Amino acid sequence: MTRESKLISTLIAVGIVVATYYFTQSIGPALSGAALRVLILIAVDTFVFLGGYAVLRGLGISVHWVTWIIGGLFMGVSAVAGVLALTPGVSPLQHDQLLGIMAFLVAVYAAGQWATRQGYLRIRNGALPRLKAAVRQLLLFLRRHHQFFGWLVFITATGHAATYLPILSQVSANRLLTGLAAWLTLAGLSTLGLWVERNSRKRDGGAQARFIHSLTALVFFALLVIHV
């Protein structure tokens, strides 16, 4: 386990403790309930993703093609929502939470690469061969589609934000500021992803780029919890 991985793991643990205290002591029961709902949503999302992945592989259906098709549909809906919201005289799509939820669900998949890698590093020397091979295949799948998931989150989140532009004056200041902060962080995260890809073959530069990318991802998820 690398020094950067250990530091990120420690930061996650500290972040969880600090966030728990902050939610329970400062924000109050309402937002604490929101944080609990987010955790439940992550658990359900992960279960559905792993179940769907296993079923598709068991049936011999290309997981890659299914991912690209569903992702393409998400992008299409997001693009239509953005165009309608910015077109004068055209009724925009209803400003519900669908696109926002879609963006969050895919963000969990993007972050799944890091979690899966940490799990694989811990079992690769002692796990059963079939289990190790299955986790490795999942890791390779998540790694291959990590950039796709990242840009999908950005496009879907942008579509979600666009649906609120016609009624921006009706959005509370808290939701507006936290949403804007989350979107700007996501934009920076996407840019950092390009930096990671560019420096992936450099020993020192690649490690530094991945570390900063991971820290930015933690900030993004924290802002999402506050936003919802």
Predicted confidence (pLDDT) per residue in 53-84, tens digit? 888 888 888 888 888 888 888 888 888 887 87
Confidence at residue 175, expressed as pLDDT on a 0 to 100 scale: 82
Q: How far apart are CA 106 and CA 228, in angstroms?
A: 16
Enter the DSSP assignment of 97.
S
Confidence at residue 152, expressed as pLDDT on a 0 to 100 scale: 92
The Cβ of residue 68 has, within 10 Å, a number of other Cβ atoms equal to 13
Confidence at residue 211, expressed as pLDDT on a 0 to 100 scale: 77
Predicted confidence (pLDDT) per residue in 13-28, tens digit? 455 555 545 544 544 4
Helix (H) or strand (E) holding 116, with range, is: helix 98-123
The better pLDDT of the pair 128, 149 is held by 149
Q: Which token pair is 108? A: 């969990």
Q: Which token pair is 107? A: 């963000």
Q: How far apart are CA 74 and CA 104, in angstroms?
A: 12
Contact 156, 95 (CB under 8 A): no
- Mean pLDDT, residues 138-162 taken together: 90
Predicted confidence (pLDDT) per residue in 96-127, tens digit? 577 888 888 888 888 888 888 888 888 777 76
The better pLDDT of the pair 128, 52 is held by 52
Residue 70 backbone phi and psi in degrees, to 5: -65, -45
pTM (two decimals): 0.76
